[in-house]
Amino acid sequence: MIVRLMGEGQYRIDEGVRSRLNELDDKAMQALERNDEAELDGYLDQMGKIVRGEGTALELDDLHPSDLLIPPSDLTLEETRQLFSEDGLIPDLPIPAA
Amino acid sequence: MAGLMGRASTVVKSKFSKLLDKAEDPNEMLDYSYEQQLQLLQNVKRGVADVVTSKKRLQLQSDQLERSLVKLETQAREALAAGREDLARAALERKTTAQQQLQGLDTQIQGLEAQQEKLVSSERQLSAKIEAFRGQKEVIKAQYSAAEAQVRIGEAATGIGEQMADTGLAIQRARDKTEQMQARAGAVEELIESGTLEDFTSGEDRLDRELAQVSAQSQVDSELERMKAELGPGAATGDKKELPQ
């Protein structure tokens, strides 16, 4: 399974790591819903640390898409929310004119 | 409810699938996408250059403030030596303001440094993936019919689309940060121009002139001392001159 630390790079992780990430991800989501930025950042940092520590970095020229994307912890709450909206923080990819 | 990781991934994938849906001719889409990738690579390079320029501007200001600190400190000493505690106090007050600005600037410079590193790393990743994509694109175009190509394109195109979205985000964030810094740099420049952080000698108000006088007086005194020392003892009192040994 491939996970991307947004703004950083991609890593391959195993199932054990994934289930630990899932637990933190749930807590991160709850923190976001409570508007608790400090706690959210803490969980995201922990997730990043796990991925960096236990995952294997993908070669830079690997073209596999990621299964999971972990947002960076230095976003504001509002930016993190925007990350998940269609016309939010992630820029649109250029679509060729018909 | 999906967590953060899944949602972010869904948004990126849906953005890219829009692009794939639009593509009627896979070969054309591959070429078009490749052009866009090169364009984005140029943007990220420009982003790095912009961050470097902003950083330089802040560093110049920081140097300027450092010099102000030294000058204000000297002026405060001179004022105190001349018995003008009021002037010394005013100089030290300005020094404190300059010091606070300087600390703020240093934090901003570090912030820009971090943005620069992120952009450079993003550029490296995008560049490697574009190279890989170019290779696959040529293979796909040479070996597969349009229908087969459509299937083959999927993963590679989604992979590079994800990188493009990530790099695009990095550029946007760096741009936001740089704009904030520019605004701040502008504010500091105004402070410097208004004389608030400038040393007294170049200012125009009464305090400035008084301190400049004290400063000039002190400079005259020290020049006199130096000359006396050069001429040897007794030179200034009109005694018989002795040649320095």
HEC assignment per residue over B189-208: HHHHHCCCCCCHHHCCCHHH
Question: Any chain A CB within 8 A of the CB of B124?
Answer: yes
Q: What percent of chain A is predicted at pLDDT more than 70?
A: 87
Average pLDDT score over residue span B136-155: 79
Which of A22, A37, A91, A20 is closest to B4 using CA atoms? Answer: A22
Per the CB < 8 A criterion, the answer to whether B112 and B47 are in contact is no
Render pLDDT for A57-73 as a digit per residue (tens, 0 to 9). Answer: 999 999 999 989 999 89
Question: Any chain B CB within 8 A of the CB of A33?
Answer: no
Could you give the angle at which helices B85-143 and B146-193 cross, rounded to 10 degrees?
170
Alpha helices in chain B, H assignment, sequence order: 4-22, 26-81, 85-143, 146-193, 206-231
DSSP state of A93: P
Question: DSSP per residue over B147-170, as a string?
Answer: HHHHHHHHHHHHHHHHHHHHHHHH
Question: Any chain B CB within 8 A of the CB of A64?
Answer: yes
**What backbone torsions phi and psi does residue A42 show, to the nearest 5 degrees?**
-60, -45
Taking the C-alpha atoms of residue B88 and residue B84, their distance in angstroms, rounded to an integer, is: 6
Per the CB < 8 A criterion, the answer to whether B72 and B202 are in contact is no
Which of A16-20, B2-6, B61-65, B199-203 shows the lowest per-residue confidence on average (mean pLDDT)?
Answer: B199-203
B202: number of CA atoms within 13 Å, CB side? Answer: 11
Residues of B in contact with A60 (CB under 8 A): 124-125, 128-129
Which of A78-92, B71-85, B133-147, B228-242 shows the lowest per-residue confidence on average (mean pLDDT)?
Answer: B228-242
Residues of A in contact with B169 (CB under 8 A): 6-7, 89-91
Look at B131 and A93 and tell me if their CB atoms are within 8 Å: no
Residue-level pLDDT at B244: 56
pTM beyond 0.90: no
Task: For residue A61, give how far its alpha carbon lies from the nearest alpha carbon of chain B (Å).
Answer: 4
User: Where does the pLDDT of residue B200 fall: very low under 50, low under 70, confident under 90, or very high at 90 and above?
Assistant: low
Would you call A57 helix, strand, or coil by DSSP?
Answer: strand
Does residue A86 surpass a pLDDT of 70? no
